[in-house]
């Protein structure tokens, strides 16, 4: 097989291996797309069939040639023309090196979608807030799409694969894609040039996978790198330097992003630049010769300055795409937090429980701590991704009455919290043996009228399959505790 990806009519001649079925939808979408077009499909995943039971059930009725669970044997890749790789697999892995040596074309679900997609792409990435911003952008575009009769779809890292329906899109349709650094890393060299590209913020993350902050930034840079002068590049000066503290009077533009597209800004105060700004209950929109301002407030379910920024970012992208801002207020009505994103999941016995399990970066957890005003007991820690935790420890010291530390980073966080308390009273600190123990400590430490907050600031692996399993377990425990 050549390095060229097949056309939609050529897959019947392709032997394809899906490396990583996973639980987030991309592997399932790739398998479905390939099998429905007649490819000979092999699926392999390091997880067991029991761990993947829900994903495997979604393959029912699909003509899959072979499945390998619990490992990646050589036979899964022998003779493969195409290897569709999960974003979590490192590009430098030995498996992929062997596939390249054997002449297999390495691709991924997002690249396949973009290769066949005929419409326009709004691509959204960032270290924090990208799922909420992508969902908001999609929601703000819906009235415009209905009025002008085009389709707008939400997909990518958010967990919905648009690949199986790619031939349903026309040239006027829009795909709003949330893209992770893993997915962007794999789009290097793919001539990816989104019509509108948006970076919510940037702070070091996934350094265990990328190898360093410069490599992580280069992956994020892919979203802007191939844009032309007529494309739109959106990023915020307010968060350009990884600042999650209150607004700065005169933020300096970040030199990190190399921009070819037309630049737009967003934030929570009006800088006078082109972009969208949620300033004191007014959404200000500006684009060269156009300017608009409407009264707009963040829904109560999306509290905090970080969510006001997310709304401004989404409004900027939707307005740039042609949406009428007069519809934004109604579109926001009823919009709640996505699952596992600062979501109040239980309340009773004088205690509120918030599930913020998706907070796998210190900055995201720090934003949660700054948003909630009642006494907080935070469950923090998890797998070590190689990022600094000092600021997170200091934020815990400032905003929490107690902390229950979990997983691989527990001891490190405990030491950092102690070091930050030289001239201040420390919060109560407990180190948990497992998640049951962590929850037990949290409810024992929380005062009446307080909050138990699951916002780990670290990855979930080690104790859990992913952040969703962690959040689901927390939610179940909280509801059971209240019902006793």
What is the distance between the alpha carbons of residues 381 and 463, in angstroms, rounded to a whole number? 11
What does the alpha-carbon distance between residue 278 and residue 263 come to, in Å, rounded to a whole number? 18
Q: What are φ and ψ of residue 134, in 5° steps?
A: -65, -45
At 4, the pLDDT band (50, 70, 90 cuts) reads confident
Is there a contact between 316 and 292 (Cβ–Cβ < 8 Å)?
no
> How sure is the predictor about 462, in pLDDT bands with cuts at 50, 70 and 90?
confident
**Burial class, 99, CB count within 10 angstroms (exposed 0-12 / middle 13-18 / buried 19+):** buried
Residues 328 and 221 in one domain: yes
Looking up residue 59, the CATH number of its domain turns out to be 3.40.50.720
Q: For the chain, give the mean pLDDT.
A: 91
C-beta separation of 181 from 211 below 8 A: no
The CATH number assigned to the domain holding 390 equals 3.90.190.20
Q: Is 316 found in the same domain as 192?
A: yes
Q: 163 and 102 share a domain?
A: no
Domain with residue 309: its CATH number is: 3.40.1190.10
Q: 88, 107, 126 — which closes off a domain?
A: 107
Residues 235 and 371 occupy one common structural domain: no
Is there a single domain that holds both residue 100 and residue 123?
no
What is the domain range of residue 27?
A: 12-107
pTM of the full predicted structure? 0.84
So what's the pLDDT on residue 239? 57
Name the phi and psi angles at 477, rounded to 5.
-60, -45
Question: Looking at 332, 366, 384, which one is the last position of a domain?
Answer: 332
Q: Among candidates 188, 202, 158, which has minimal Cα distance to 176?
A: 158
Structural domain includes residue 5: no
> Other CB atoms closer than 10 Å to residue 146's CB: what's the count?
11
Kindly state whether residue 148 falls inside one of the protein's structural domains.
yes
pLDDT score recorded for residue 211: 78
pLDDT band at 413 (very low <50, low <70, confident <90, very high): very high
Please report whether residue 71 resides in a domain: yes
In a shared domain, residues 179 and 328: yes
Average pLDDT value for residue range 42-69: 94
Please indicate, yes or no, whether residues 80 and 178 belong to a single structural domain of this protein. no
Per-residue pLDDT, 351: 97
Distance CA 186, CA 171 (A): 25
* Same-domain check for residues 376 and 445: yes
If residue 381 lies in a helix (H) or strand (E), which one and from where to where? none
- Measured CA distances, 456 to 156, 180, 186 (Å): 24, 19, 28
Task: List Cβ<8 Å contacts ≥24 apart for 216-220.
Answer: 216/181, 217/256, 219/181, 219/182, 219/184, 219/185, 219/188, 220/125, 220/126, 220/181, 220/184
Of 389, 405, 395, the residue nearest 445 (C-alpha): 405
Residue 1 in any domain: the answer is: no
Cβ–Cβ under 8 Å, residues 310 and 128: no
- Shared-domain flag, residues 325 and 369: no
- Contact between residue 203 and residue 240 where contact means Cβ atoms under 8 Å apart: no
In a domain, 383, yes or no: yes
DSSP lists the bridge partners of residue 154 as 176
> Looking at the structure, do residues 100 and 144 belong to the same domain, yes or no?
no
* pLDDT score for 337: 76
- Across-strand partners of 286? 275, 291
Domain count, the chain: 3
- Give the pLDDT confidence score for residue 421 in this predicted structure: 80
């Amino acid at each position: 097989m050549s390095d060229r990806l097949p056309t939609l009519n050529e897959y019947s001649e392709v032997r394809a291996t899906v490396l990583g079925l996973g639980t987030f939808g991309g592997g399932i979408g790739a398998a479905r797309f390939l099998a429905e077009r007649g490819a000979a499909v092999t699926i392999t995943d390091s997880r067991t069939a029991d761990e993947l039971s829900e994903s495997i059930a979604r393959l029912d009725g699909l003509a899959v040639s072979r499945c390998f669970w619990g490992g990646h044997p050589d036979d899964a890749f022998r003779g493969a023309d195409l290897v569709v790789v999960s974003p979590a697999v490192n590009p430098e892995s030995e498996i992929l090196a062997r596939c390249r040596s054997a002449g297999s074309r390495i691709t991924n679900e997002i690249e396949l979608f973009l290769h066949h997609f005929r419409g326009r792409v709004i691509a959204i990435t960032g270290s924090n807030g990208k799922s909420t911003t992508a969902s908001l952008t999609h929601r703000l575009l819906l009235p415009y799409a209905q009025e002008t009769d085009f389709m707008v779809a939400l997909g990518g890292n958010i967990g919905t694969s648009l690949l199986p329906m790619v031939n349903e899109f026309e040239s006027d349709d829009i795909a709003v894609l949330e893209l992770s650094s893993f997915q962007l890393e794999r789009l290097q060299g793919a001539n990816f040039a989104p019509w509108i590209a948006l970076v919510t913020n940037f702070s070091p993350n996934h350094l265990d996978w990328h190898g360093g902050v410069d490599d992580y930034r280069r992956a994020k840079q892919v979203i802007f790198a191939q844009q032309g002068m007529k494309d739109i590049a959106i990023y915020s000066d307010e968060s350009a330097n990884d600042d999650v503290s209150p607004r700065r009077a005169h933020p300096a533009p970040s030199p990190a992003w190399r921009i070819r597209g037309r630049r737009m800004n967003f934030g929570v105060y009006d800088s006078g630049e082109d972009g969208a700004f949620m300033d004191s209950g007014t959404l200000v929109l500006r684009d060269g010769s156009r300017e608009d301002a409407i009264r707009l407030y963040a829904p109560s379910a999306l509290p905090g300055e970080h969510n006001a920024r997310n709304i401004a970012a989404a409004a900027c992208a939707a307005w740039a795409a042609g949406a009428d801002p007069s519809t934004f207020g109604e579109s926001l009505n009823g919009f709640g937090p996505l699952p596992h994103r600062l979501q109040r999941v239980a309340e009773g016995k004088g205690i509120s429980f918030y599930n913020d399990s998706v907070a796998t970066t210190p900055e995201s957890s720090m934003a949660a701590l700054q948003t909630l005003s009642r006494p907080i007991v935070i469950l923090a820690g998890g797998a070590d991704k190689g990022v600094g935790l000092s600021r997170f420890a200091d934020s815990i010291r400032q905003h929490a009455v107690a902390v229950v530390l979990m997983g691989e980073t527990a001891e490190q966080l405990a030491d950092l919290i102690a070091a930050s308390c030289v001239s201040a009273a420390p919060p109560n600190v407990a180190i948990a043996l497992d998640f049951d123990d962590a929850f037990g400590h949290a409810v024992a430490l929380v005062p009446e009228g307080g909050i138990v907050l699951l916002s780990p600031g670290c990855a979930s692996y080690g104790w859990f399959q992913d952040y969703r399993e962690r959040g689901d377990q927390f939610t179940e425990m909280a509801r059971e505790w209240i019902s006793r």
